[in-house]
């Protein structure tokens, strides 16, 4: 079973990610039983059919690079898991999607980074709102994954504001002799 870093711990992952094959229509894709993440296009095309599964917590949606939460803002409350795909490590649009989901749309469910999820980006991903990180199954050994989890906390006090720290450091730290 694939591994997932969730809330700073390595856990087994039983969610299946459905992708559309070249030329496959969202209305025709076969969906497996069990916990399933479907592409945004499938959710949009089959929303009424899939909503009961989402409300039971066994169906989530994943966004491709360039897709945003504004497309399903009214459905966020019924989705317990949303994933954001990073097609390659140089594509940072997923950070913006995560931040928007957490700040503007108030999404409180599991927010998962999938795709080309690399250790050196774990800290930034968690700061932008991801609470679950799913590196490719063949990317890390168990030992490397354990070390990666430890590295998430390498930076204890970030300078910049983020989804997890809405105020920049100079606003979070009380200075001696500063006027209130």
What pLDDT does residue 8 have?
87
Residue 123 tokens read as 């800290």
Angle at 60 between CA 57 and CA 61, to 5 degrees: 160
pLDDT at 94: 92
Residues of the chain whose pLDDT is less than 50? none
pTM here is: 0.85
Tell me the β-bridge partners of 39.
62
**pLDDT of the residue at 90:** 81
Q: Which helix (H) or strand (E) segment is 12 a member of?
A: strand 9-12
| Residue 23 confidence (pLDDT) | 86
How many angstroms separate the CA atoms of 80 and 99, rounded? 17
* Architecture (CATH level 2) of domain 3-172: Alpha-Beta Barrel (3.20)
pLDDT at position 78 is 95
What are the structure tokens assigned to 43, written together? 């959710």
Q: In this predicted structure, what is the pLDDT of residue 149? A: 84
């Amino acid at each position: 079973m694939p591994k997932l870093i969730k809330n700073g711990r390595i856990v087994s992952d039983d969610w299946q990610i459905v992708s559309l094959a070249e030329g496959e229509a969202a209305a025709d894709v076969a969906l497996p039983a069990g916990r399933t993440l479907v592409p945004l296009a499938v959710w949009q095309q089959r929303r009424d059919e899939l909503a009961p599964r989402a409300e039971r917590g066994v169906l989530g949606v994943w966004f491709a690079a360039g897709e945003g939460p504004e497309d399903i803002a009214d459905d966020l409350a019924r989705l317990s898991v949303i994933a954001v795909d990073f097609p390659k490590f140089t594509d940072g649009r997923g950070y913006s999607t995560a931040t928007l989901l957490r700040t503007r749309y108030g999404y409180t469910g599991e927010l998962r980074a999938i795709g080309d999820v690399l250790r050196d980006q774990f800290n930034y991903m968690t700061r932008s709102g991801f609470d679950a990180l799913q590196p490719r199954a063949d990317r890390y050994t168990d030992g490397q994954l354990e070390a990666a989890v430890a590295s998430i906390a390498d930076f204890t006090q970030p300078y910049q504001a983020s989804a997890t720290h809405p105020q920049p450091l100079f606003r979070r730290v009380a200075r001696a002799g500063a006027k209130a």
